[in-house]
Amino acid sequence: MALKLVLDQHRFPRLDYGYNVAFKIYDEDETAFDATGLTGTAKFYKRHNDRSTFWRDVARQVTVLGQVGTVINDIAVSWTTQASGEGTFAFTAQSRPNVTGYIEVEIQLTSSTVKRSTELVRVFVSPSESST
């Protein structure tokens, strides 16, 4: 079963970056997940059949992976309390929301012997007046 991911926010302005998004990971029993020894990476996807943007607007930015496509470069996670699955990630100038509409987020946890991912959590990228 997938790990449960809880984010502190579910709406992000398009093209904004430089702020932390906090999260917590729970195991299948709804208890805090011990991520000790694991490296976390935030991953972002957009489903191809999502009608919130037109395919031609997304095509340049999407790497095709079956039913989903990557729309934001991977972001390394910073652990707040690793033993209880609490951490943050921050959008950067190179890794920020650039496509409006619904996208999905997961935290992938890895070590030399483990690779686990949380469930996908749906978030919304709202239009922004930023131009860069």
| Per-residue pLDDT reduced to its tens digit, 64-82 | 444 456 678 899 999 999 9
What are the φ/ψ torsions at residue 99 (nearest 5 degrees)?
A: -125, 125
Whether residue 47 lies inside any domain: the answer is: yes
Whether residue 14 lies inside any domain: the answer is: yes
Structural domain count of the chain: 1
Domain interval for residue 64: 4-126
Q: What is the CATH number of the domain that holds 74?
A: 2.60.40.1930
Give the pTM: 0.81
Whether residue 132 lies inside any domain: the answer is: no
Whether residue 29 lies inside any domain: the answer is: yes
CA distances from 54 to 13, 47, 50, 95 (A): 19, 12, 8, 21
| Identity at 7, one-letter amino acid code | L
| Per-residue pLDDT reduced to its tens digit, 18-59 | 999 999 999 999 999 999 999 999 999 887 655 544 444 444
Q: What is the pLDDT of residue 76?
A: 95
Share of the chain above pLDDT 70, in %: 79
Asked whether the predicted pLDDT for residue 107 surpasses 70, the reply is yes
| Identity at 15, one-letter amino acid code | L
- CB 113: neighbour CB atoms within 10 A? 6
